[in-house]
Structure 1
Amino acid sequence: MVKVKALLFDLDDTLFDCCGLLVEAARRRAARAMVCAGLPCSEEEAYRRQIELAEQHGPRFDVFDAMAEMHGMPHSLAQAALAAYNSDEVGEIQPFPDVPETLAELRSQGYKLLLFTTGVTARQEKKVKALGIGPLFDEIVINDVETGEHRDDAFQDLLARHRLKPDEVVCVGDRIQSEIKTGNSLGMITVQMLHGRFKDLVPKTELEEPDYKISRISELQYVLRVLNRRNKGAEPRVVAIGGGTGLPVVLQGLKDLTPNLTAVVTVTDSGRSSGRIRSDFGVLPPGDMRNCLVALSDSSQLLNDLFQYRFAEGALEGMSFGNLFIAAMAKVTGSFESAVRETSRILAIRGKVLPSTYEDVQLCAKLADGAVVEGEVNVRRPRKAPISGVFLRPADAKANEEAINEILRADLIVIGPGSLYTSVIANLLVPAVPEAIRASKARKVYVCNIVTQAGQTDGYSCADHIAAIERCLGERVLDAVLVNSNVPAPSILERYQSEGSDLVRVDDRIAAHRVQIILDDLVENLDQRRILWEKQDLLRHDPEKLAELIWNLL
C-alpha cells in the first residue's frame, strides 16, 4: 500500500458548522427573494416550505424548482432564490473546536494539506478568512459554482500541481454524492465527516461509499494510524468478547479500522424473543448474535432495519425478525453454525461473529442468601439477593474451537462493555476461554460499564467490576481498563436511579488492581441520531470515542 502524503479537505460542514450557522440565514434570504419575485405567500411561509420539502425529499431534492412549479411560477424565481441563497453574506463563523489543533498537528507530521471548496467565490473567500485557517493549508482552491471546472478535473489538476498520486491522498468531506464520489472515482482514500444535512444520505452506488466515517476531525489521526499500519503490511487482529447491547457498540466503532475483527458472543440468553426461539425450536438463542451481525454489516440500511424489526402485535408480538430468520436458517442448513455463516454472507459483514460455545448451556447464579437460580433471565432478575457467584450448566461445555484460535492469534482482546454476569462473564465461564485469554500475547482491555444494573451489579464500583473479571481471568491478566469520567445530567441519572441503577463510581479501591486505568468521557451524545440495539434507549458508550481509545492501545 502507498504511503499517505496529503489530505484534501472540503470546507462546509467538514471544518465548520455550515448547516447550523449559515443555512438558516441562507434560507431566509431565499424566501425573501422568492416573495419579491412574486411568490404568493409570506416570507415565513416560504422559509417553512423550504424546510418541509428538504425534510420530506432529502438533500438531493431541488427545493427552489419545486416551489416555483407548485405555484406555477417561472424558472427565474428558482434562479433568484438560488442567487440569494448563495450570496456572499457570511456572518460570524468559527471552525469546529478540534480543527485548528488537528490541522496544525497534521502539518507538523509532514502531511500536505489542501482545501477544495465549491460555491460563490467571494462568499467562500470570506468563510476561509473568518475561520482563520487559511495559513494551515498548502493550497486553497475555490471552485466557482458557475464558472469553475468540473470537480473531477479540478481534483486532478490540484493533485498534479503537488505531484501527488490519488492513492497518496485522503479526501475528507461531508457529501457522499460529491467529494466522496469524486475521490473514490479517482482512487483516493475517502473519509466522510458525519455532520450536517448530508450525514444520513444513503449511497446510491459503490462510488458514494466512503472508506471511513468520522464524527470529529481529530479522529483523522487514528484513521491515518490504521492506514500507516496497513502500509507496513500489518493488519491487527482484534477479538471483542461480550454480548447484549455493549458488544455491538464496540464492533460498530472498530469495523472500519481492521478487517480482522472477531466477535465472541454469549449464547446463554433465555428471555424475550431469544428465549422463546430457544425453547420452541431447540436452537441457540440468536439475539446477541443478531445484534453483532448487524453491527458488522455492510449491507443496505433497509436490510439491517429488517433484521432489527420487532413485531408489535399479534402472535409474534415482541419477536425479532432477525431472530426468526437465524432460527429458520438453522433448520434449513442443519446447524446453528451454518446459519450464522450464511447470515454473515447475506449481511455482508466485516469480520466474524462466533458463539463462545455451540452447546446448549444455561447460566446459573448462587445468591448471597444461599439460593441458586438457573437461566439468564433469572440471574438478571431485579429485587433478589445479591449474586455471590455464577456458573454454567453443564459446567464442562466445549468451547468453540474457532473462537479459541482467534483469541490465541489476537493482537488485542476487548472484554465488555455489557451486563457484567449475563453478557461478559457468561463467555469467561466456558472452559478453555479464560485459559486462551491468559495464553494469548494480545493486549487485554476491559471496558467498564457506565451504569450499574439492577439485579446484577447493585452498588458496584469500577473496582468491583474489575474484581469480578479477575476472578475469572486471574490477576495481572488485564493490561488496561477503560472507565467513563462523564457524569451525565441529573435528569438522566434520576431516571436510572428510579429503576435501581446508578453511575459506576471510581473509588480508592481501584488502586489495588495492578492495571492501567484510562479515564475518559465515554458517553455517547444523547442529542444525535443513535443506532439502538434493543428496545430501550440506554445511556451507553460512544462507538467512535471507544474505538479511538482502544486503537491507541495497539
Structure 2
Amino acid sequence: MGLSGGRRTRADQSASRHGTRAFDVDAVLCDLDDTLYPQQAWLDGAWHAVARTGTRYGLDEAAFLAALRADAALGSARGGIIDRALATVGGGRPDALITELVTAFRAHRPARLEPYPGVRAALARLRMAGLRLGVVTDGDVAGQEWKVRALGIGAFFDCVVVSDALGGRQWRKPHAAPFREAMKELGVRPERCVVIGDRPEKDVSGAARLDIRAIRVKTGEYRQVPDGPGVWHAAADFATAVDWLLATPGPEPRT
C-alpha cells in the first residue's frame, strides 16, 4: 500500500530518510516512444524492412527508402506514409503490395534498442523510492511490447498498457482509457499519480482529462512543440524529469 493509505512501506521509510521521495506520488506512468528511447532508431529499421520488401515487386530499394524517410520526416504519426512513398517512386497501390509492406513495418523486431542516456538509472531510482511504474503507449500491441523487451527495461515496470489492446486505435492517447487501465492495474488514484511523456497533445492532454499531473520531456520528434496547457513541469529529458520529481517535496507523510 502507498502512503495514501496511511501506511508506509519499508521502501517508503528508507527513501524518506534519504530525502528522495515525493511523498504525494505513488506511481509514475511513462510514455514509451521518444520518452524512454529515440523512436527514430526503431523507425529507421522498420523503413529498411519495408523498402526491402518492396524489391519483391520491382521497387528500387534505395529510392523507396529515401521516399519513406522523407515523408516520415514531416511527421511519423501521420497515416499513409507508405502509400505516399509508393506514389513518389511510382509503385502503384496493388492490395497485395500494400498489405505486405504494412506487415513488414509492423513485424520489425530489432534484437536490441538503446534507451536515452540515464533512463535505466532513473527507473531504478524511482523503484528504490518505492514508486510503482507503468508504461502507457499507443501502437501495434505486439510491437510495443517487443520494444519494452528490446530496451531491456521491462523488469522496472509493474504494467505495460498498449491502448490498442483496449479495442483499437480509438482508445489511443489522449483518450482517458489507457491511463485508467494503468491506474487500475497499479492500484493508484489520479491525484497520487504522475505521467511523464513527450507529446503535449497526447500525454499531457490525456493526463489532464483525469486530473493527473504531467511532466513533459523535450526529447525526440516533437521536442520543439510548445508545452501547451496542463504541463506541471517541463524537463529536458526523462532522467532530468525524475531528478526533479524525486527532489520535489510533497505533504508530510502520515505515520
Indicate whether the TM-score tops 0.5: yes
Cα distance in 2 between the residues matched to 1:146 and 1:108 = 31
* Structure-1 residue corresponding to 2:102: 82
Q: 1:220 aligns with which of 227, 241, 245?
A: 241
Cα distance, 1:6 vs structure 2: 0.9
TM-score between the two structures when normalised by the length of structure 1: 0.36
Q: 1:130 aligns with which of 136, 150, 156?
A: 150
* Structure-2 residue corresponding to 1:191: 215
* Structure-1 residue corresponding to 2:20: none
Cα distance, 1:7 vs structure 2: 0.4
Cα distance in 1 between the residues matched to 2:109 and 2:163 = 18
Cα distance in 1 between the residues matched to 2:148 and 2:241 = 21
Q: 2:192 aligns with which of 145, 168, 174?
A: 168
SS in 2 for 1:186: coil
Cα distance in 2 between the residues matched to 1:85 and 1:102 = 31
Deviations 1:352-387 (A, max 9, x none): xxxxxxxxxxxxxxxxxxxxxxxxxxxxxxxxxxxx
Please tell me the root mean square deviation across aligned C-alpha atoms, in Å. Answer: 3.1
Cα distance, 1:96 vs structure 2: 2.8
Look up the equivalent residue of 1:87 and give its one-letter code. A
Q: Which moved more, 1:109-118 or 1:73-82?
A: 73-82
SS in 2 for 1:23: helix
Cα distance in 1 between the residues matched to 2:167 and 2:110 = 21
Cα distance in 1 between the residues matched to 2:49 and 2:85 = 15
* Structure-2 residue corresponding to 1:101: 121
* Structure-2 residue corresponding to 1:492: none
* Bigger share in helix: 2
Cα distance, 1:48 vs structure 2: 0.8
The alignment status of 1:10 with 2:31, answered yes or no, reads yes
Q: 2:66 aligns with which of 48, 56, 62?
A: 48
Query: What is the percent sequence identity of the aligned residues?
Result: 25
Cα distance, 1:35 vs structure 2: 4.7
Cα distance in 1 between the residues matched to 2:78 and 2:185 = 35
Cα distance in 1 between the residues matched to 2:77 and 2:26 = 32
Cα distance, 1:141 vs structure 2: 2.6
* Structure-1 residue corresponding to 2:204: 180
Aligned length: 223
SS in 2 for 1:73: coil
* Alignment CA distance shift 1:227-1:81 (3 Å): farther
Which structure ranks higher in relative contact order (CA pairs < 8 Å, sequence separation ≥ 6)? 2
Asked whether the equivalents of residues 65 and 75 of structure 1 are also in contact (C-alpha less than 8 Å), the reply is: no
* Alignment CA distance shift 1:156-1:201 (3 Å): same
Look up the equivalent residue of 1:185 and give its one-letter code. R
* Alignment CA distance shift 1:146-1:49 (3 Å): farther
Cα distance, 1:46 vs structure 2: 1.1
* Alignment CA distance shift 1:59-1:210 (3 Å): farther
* Alignment CA distance shift 1:33-1:219 (3 Å): same
* Alignment CA distance shift 1:166-1:124 (3 Å): same
The within-5 A match list for 1:50-449 is 50-55=68-73, 57-62=74-79, 63-68=81-86, 71=90, 73-74=92-93, 76=95, 77-144=97-164, 147-148=167-168, 150-151=171-172, 152-201=176-225, 206=228, 210-225=231-246, 227-228=248-249
Cα distance, 1:26 vs structure 2: 0.7
Cα distance, 1:110 vs structure 2: 1.8
Asked whether the equivalents of residues 174 and 199 of structure 1 are also in contact (C-alpha less than 8 Å), the reply is: yes
> Structure 2 stretches of 5 or more lacking a match?
1-22
* Alignment CA distance shift 1:64-1:88 (3 Å): closer
* Alignment CA distance shift 1:36-1:199 (3 Å): farther
Q: Which structure's CA Rg is the greater one?
A: 1
The within-5 A match list for 1:448-467 is none
> Structure 1 stretches of 5 or more lacking a match?
233-554
Look up the equivalent residue of 2:223 and give its one-letter code. K
